[in-house]
Amino acid sequence: EVQLVESGGGLVQPGGSLRLSCAASGFTFSTYSMNWVRQAPGKGLEWVSYISSSSSLIYYTDSVKGRFTISRDNAKNSLFLQMDNLRADDTALYYCVRETRIPQSYYFDYWGQGTLVTVSS
């Protein structure tokens, strides 16, 4: 059974840092691209970042470029999101998401339960 378990969320002051982790199991982690997606309170889903299976390709949404860093450790089946210089509008539930790729499309087929990040003084 595929499982994605996020951790590392919490309350942090503006300008602070947090490191989110995602422990993956039930599949060959090293062969899948991964993403972080977030949902702010009362808002819709927002894609945050992507990392390819070998870490050779990395993308971010504009609002987090230069502040967030995505990484992975395939030996430990883990995905990370280092979040620096946090702002109030980063407050959200952050999901770890597996991406499956077929020639006709890419899609998010497994999601974790999420970890809550609250940025407030």
Partner 1 sequence: DIQMTQSPSSLSTSVGDRVTITCRASQRISSFLSWYQHRPGIAPKLLIYAASRLQSGVPSRFSGSGSGTNFTLTISNLQPEDFATYYCQQSYDTPRTFGQGTELELK
Q: Is residue 5 at the binding interface for partner 1, with CB under 8 A as the rule?
A: no
Query: Cβ closer to partner 1: 3 or 17?
Result: 3
Q: Is residue 56 at the binding interface for partner 1, with CB under 8 A as the rule?
A: no
At 121 the three-state DSSP class reads coil
Q: Is residue 47 at the binding interface for partner 1, with CB under 8 A as the rule?
A: yes
Residue with tokens 């390709």: 57
Q: Is residue 61 at the binding interface for partner 1, with CB under 8 A as the rule?
A: yes
Q: Which of 18, 20, 32, 35 binds partner 1 (CB under 8 A)?
A: 35
Q: Which of 25, 85, 113, 120 binds partner 1 (CB under 8 A)?
A: 113
**Number of C-beta neighbours around residue 95 at 10 A:** 21
Cα angle value 74/77/83 (rounded, 5°): 85
Q: Which one-letter amino acid corresponds to residue 91?
A: T
At 17 the three-state DSSP class reads coil
Query: Cβ closer to partner 1: 12 or 20?
Result: 20
Q: Is residue 89 at the binding interface for partner 1, with CB under 8 A as the rule?
A: no
Please give the DSSP secondary-structure letter assigned to residue 59: E
Q: Is residue 121 at the binding interface for partner 1, with CB under 8 A as the rule?
A: no
Quote the CA–CA distance of 61 and 54 in Å, as a whole number.
Answer: 20
Positions touching partner 1 (CB under 8 A) are: 35, 37, 44-47, 50, 59, 61-62, 95, 99-100, 102, 104-114
